[in-house]
Chain A
Amino acid sequence: MAHEWHRRLEARQLTFAVLAFVAVAIGGLVLLIPPYFLQGTITPLPGVKPYTALELEGRDIYVREGCYTCHSQQIRPFKTEVDRYGPYSLAGESVYDRPFQFGSRRTGPDLARVGGKYPDSWHWIHLRDPREIEPRSNMPRFDFLLEAPLDLSHTRKKLEVMRRLGTPYDDAEIEGAVASAQAQLAKLADGLRAGGMEISEIGGRSEGLAVIAYLQKLGTGIDWRSRGATEGRTADAR
C-alpha cells in the first residue's frame, strides 16, 4: 500500500521525531530569520527618542497593570482609523519597545498616539476614576497608582539593561537616571499643582505620575498634532 513507507517510519521513534521537528522548524525559519536580519534596517524615525528614565518606569507600570489587555497601540492604515487616532503606526516607532505593546484588543481606544491629546490633569482624574470623565466607561479605577510611591531602586539597572540590548543611552543618562526621573516627577507635580489640582506629597512622586509621563510620550515621535492628522500621508494607503 502507498503508505507502507510510513508504517516503517512509525516503528522508528528517533527518525520520526527528527522529521516532525524539521516539519515545524521550516515555517519558523522562513518567517523569523529574514525579518530578524532586517532588524538593522529598521531604524528609529528621526523624532523617535528613547524613553526617559521616568517614561520607562511608567511604561513598566503600564505593562504591569495590563493596560494592553484593553488598549492597542497600533493604528492601522485605514482612513477611519487615521481619522480617529492619528497617522498609522510605522515600524520605526517601536524600536525601543521591549516588550512591544501592539495589543490584540480594543476594549478601550487605541493609545498609540494619545500623547498630547489631553492635559496631564485629565489623565490624573481619569486614572483616579474613569467614570468621573466618562460615565459609560468600563475602565477600572487606577486610583491606587496615584497613592503608590514610585520605586526608583531599579531604574539605573533598567537603563543599563536597555543599553546592553541596543537602546542608545549614554553614560550621563545612566548615571543620572534617578535624578532625571525625580526631576521629571517634580515638574509634572508642579504643573498639576499650578493648574489647581490637589496633589499630596506621595502623589507627587507616585507611580501614576510615571504612567502619565509615559502616556504623554506615546506617538509623539512624529510631530503630527501640529500638522493635522492626515496631512502628507495617503491615509487609505492599503
Chain B
Amino acid sequence: MAEAERAARVEYDMGVVRGFTIWALIWGAVGMAVGLMAAIQLAWPEANLGPIHFGRIRPIHTNAVIFGFTLGVIFAGSYYAVQRLCRVRMYSDALSKIHLWLWNAIIAAAAASLAAGHTAAKEYAELEWPLDLAVVVMWVIYGVNFFGTIAVRRVRSMYVALWFWMSTILTVAMLYVFNNLEFPVSAFKSYSIYSGVHDANIQWWYGHNAVGFVLTVPILGLMYYFLPKQVGRPIYSHRLSILHFWSLIFVYMWAGPHHLIYSPLPDWTQSLGTAFSIMLLLPSWGGMLNGFLTLRGAWDRVRTDPLLKMFVVGLTFYGMSTFEGPMMAIKTVNSLSHFTNWTIGHVHSGALGWVALTSFATLYYLVPRLWHTEMWSRRLVDAHFWTATLGIVLYVTPMWISGVTQGLMWRAVNPDGSLAYSFIESVAAIRIYDVLRVAGGAVFLSGVLMMIVNVALTIRRGSAAIPREAAPLAPAPAAGGR
C-alpha cells in the first residue's frame, strides 16, 4: 500500500509532452503544406519559382513530415507513456527540455539548409554533416533520458510499447551513424565514404529501416499503448505481442535490397531482400491482428468514437501497405512498379493511412489530458477523420492508377518489337492523376488545419497548470490474458 501511495505522488513531467504535441502539429502542417506545394509543382511546372523548385522542395517535405511531424508525435507519445508505464517522472527534466528545443532547432535548420541546397542526396538522410552531428547528440539525449527512466522504474515489467520504442532508439542510432559516414569538404559539403553500389547498399539498408523504425515500429508502440487505453481493455494477446515484436525487428533489417531490385547490386542480396520482404508480411499482420482483436466486444464503440475510427482505419492501411509492400518486392512486380507513382501510392497509403491517422488519434488522446479539459469540438474531430479518409483515397487511388499506367507504357512494344511510347507520352498520360493528387492532398491538409483549430481552442479553454498529477487509478493496461 505504501508503494501505491508513493506512486500516486509521482509528478509526471507533462510540459515536455505538451511541447512535443504542439510542435509536432506545427511541423505536420508545414510539412504537408510543402508536400502539397510539391504536388502542385508536378501538376503545374509554372509553380516552380527559381531555386524553390521541386528538386529542393521534395526533400523538405519528406524531412518535415518524417522527422518533424512523425518523430514529434513519437516523442510526445513515448514521453507521456514511459512515465506512466514506469510510474516515475522522466529521468532528467533538463534532458527533456534540451531534447525538445534541440529537435526543433534541427528541424528548422534542416528546412533552411535543404532550401539552400545543402544536401547529401541520400533519401531521408539528406542533412549535411554538421546537422548529422546535431541529430546524433539529440538522439543520444533522447536515449539516455528514455533508458534512464526505464532503469529507475517502479514497475517490474516493461510493457510491450516500451520494447518498440527501445528498439527504435537503438536501431535508428546504428542506422543513422553508418549511413551518414562522410568526409567534409567544407561546412556545407561532404562526400560519402562509400561509393556507387556500396553507397546504394548502405543507403537502402538505412532507407528501408528508417521507414521501419520511424514510420512503423515506434508507431506500433503508440498503437500498443494508446489503443488499449482508448478502448479501456488490455491488448488482445501478450504472446502475440512477443512474437510480433521479435520477428518484426529481426526480419525488417534484411529487406533493404528490395529498393535495389535489378540494380547492379549482387544478385544474392536482392534475393535475400525479396525473401525477407515476403516473410515480413507475417509479423506485420500479427501486429495488426493484435490491434484489431483488442477491440473485440467493443466494435459498437468504433461507430461513435472518432479516435477508435482513426485507429481502426490506420490499422487497416497498415495491413494494406504491408501486403502491398511484399508484393512490390517480388521481382516481376517490382519490374513494373519501381520508379513509378505506384511507389508514391504505397508510400502515402502507409504514411497518410497508417502513420498520420495513428498519430492524429494519439494526439487527440493526449490533448484533453495534457490541458485538463474536453476537446473543444468532438464533431470537428469526427469531421477530421472523414476528411482525412477522403483525402487518402483521393491521393492514393490516382497514384496507383498512374503508377501502373507509367509502368505499362514504358514496357509497351509495337508488333515489330519497337517501343510503343516515347517517354513524354507517359508524362502527359499521368498528368490528370497529378492534378487529382493535388485535390487529395488539399483535402487531407484541410483536415490537419481543422485539427490545429480544434487543439488551439482546446488549449485556450483548458489549463496546463495542474500542479500535481495523480497516477492513474487503475493499473496501466499491462499484458492481456493469453
A-to-B contact residues, CB < 8 Å = 2-3, 6-7, 10-11, 13, 16-17, 20-21, 23-28, 30-32, 35-36, 38-39, 42, 60, 63-70, 72, 74, 76-78, 80-81, 83-84, 89-91, 93-109, 130-131, 134, 136-142, 144, 154, 157-158, 161-162, 164-166, 238
Assembled-state Cα–Cα distance A106/B338 (Å): 9
Asked if residues B42 and A24 are in contact (CB atoms below 8 Å), the reply is no
Q: What are the residues of chain A within 8 A of B423 when measuring CB–CB? A: 84, 108-109
- Which of B200, B246, B340 gathers the greatest number of chain A CB atoms within 10 Å? B200
B137 within 8 A of A: no
**Contact, CB under 8 Å: B335 / A16:** no
* Contact present for A102 and B200 (CB under 8 Å): yes
Q: Is the CB of A161 within 8 A of B238?
A: no
User: In the complex, A5 Cα to B265 Cα: how many Å?
Assistant: 41
Comparing B156-164, B358-366, B373-381, B450-458, the segment that makes contact with chain A is B156-164
Known A-B contacts A31-B272, A137-B427; the reply to A100 vs B264 at CB < 8 A is no
- Roughly how many angstroms separate A181 CA and B381 CA in the complex, as a whole number? 59
User: Which residues of chain B are near A131, meaning CB under 8 Å?
Assistant: 45
Residues of B close to A36: CB separation below 8 A: 198
**Chain B window 219-259, contacts with chain A (Cβ cutoff 8 Å), 1 for yes, 0 for no:** 00000000000000000001100100010011111101101
List chain B residues, Cβ under 8 A from A2.
239
Chain B residue at minimal CB-CB distance from A160: B185
Q: Which 6 A-B pairs have the closest CB atoms?
A: A66-B55, A27-B253, A94-B196, A140-B48, A140-B53, A91-B264
- Nearest B residue to A106 via CB reads B339
Query: Which A residues lie within 8 Å of B434 (CB)?
Result: 138
The contact of A137 among B45, B54, B191, B343, by CB within 8 Å, is: B45
Interface segment, one of B100-108, B115-123, B299-307: B115-123
B387 touches A (CB below 8 Å) = no
Decide: A161 and B254 in contact? CB cutoff 8 A. no
Q: Distance (Å) between the CB of A74 and the closest chain B CB? A: 6
Contacting residues, chain B, for A6 (C-beta < 8 A): 242
Distance of A192 Cα from B273 Cα, bound (Å): 47
Q: In the assembled complex, which residues on chain A have CB atoms less than 8 Å from the CB atom of B372?
A: none
Q: Which of B163, B184, B198, B262 contacts A77 (CB 8 A)?
A: B262
How far, in whole Å, are A28 and B434 apart by their CA atoms in the complex?
37
Q: Which residues of B contact A (CB under 8 A)?
A: 41-43, 45, 48, 50-51, 53-56, 58-59, 117-123, 147, 150-151, 156-158, 163, 166-167, 170-171, 174, 178, 183-186, 189, 191-203, 205, 238-239, 242, 246, 249-254, 256-257, 259-260, 262-266, 269, 272-273, 276, 335, 338-340, 343-344, 406, 410-413, 418-419, 423-424, 427-428, 431, 434
Q: Give the interface centre of A13, A77, A98 by most chain B CB atoms within 10 Å.
A: A98
Known contacts A23-B249, A27-B253; is-contact A97 B195 (Cβ 8 Å): yes
Q: Determine whether the beta carbon of A107 is less than 8 Å from that of B42.
A: yes
Extra contacts besides A131-B45, A134-B424, A136-B428 (7): CB < 8 Å? A13-B158, A20-B170, A23-B249, A25-B174, A69-B55, A91-B265, A93-B264
A11 touches B157 (CB 8 A): yes
A sample of 26 inter-chain contacts (CB < 8 A) reads A3-B242, A10-B156, A11-B156, A20-B166, A20-B167, A20-B170, A24-B250, A27-B276, A30-B254, A31-B205, A35-B266, A66-B58, A67-B55, A89-B263, A94-B196, A99-B121, A102-B260, A104-B343, A108-B427, A136-B427, A138-B45, A142-B53, A158-B185, A162-B191, A164-B183, A238-B262
Q: Are B158 and A27 in contact (CB under 8 A)?
A: no
CB distance from B377 to the nearest CB of A (A): 39
Contact, CB under 8 Å: B266 / A3: no
**Which of A65, A89, A101, A107 has the most chain B CB atoms closer than 10 A to its own CB?**
A107
Residues from chain B with Cβ under 8 Å of A21 in the complex: 167, 170-171, 174
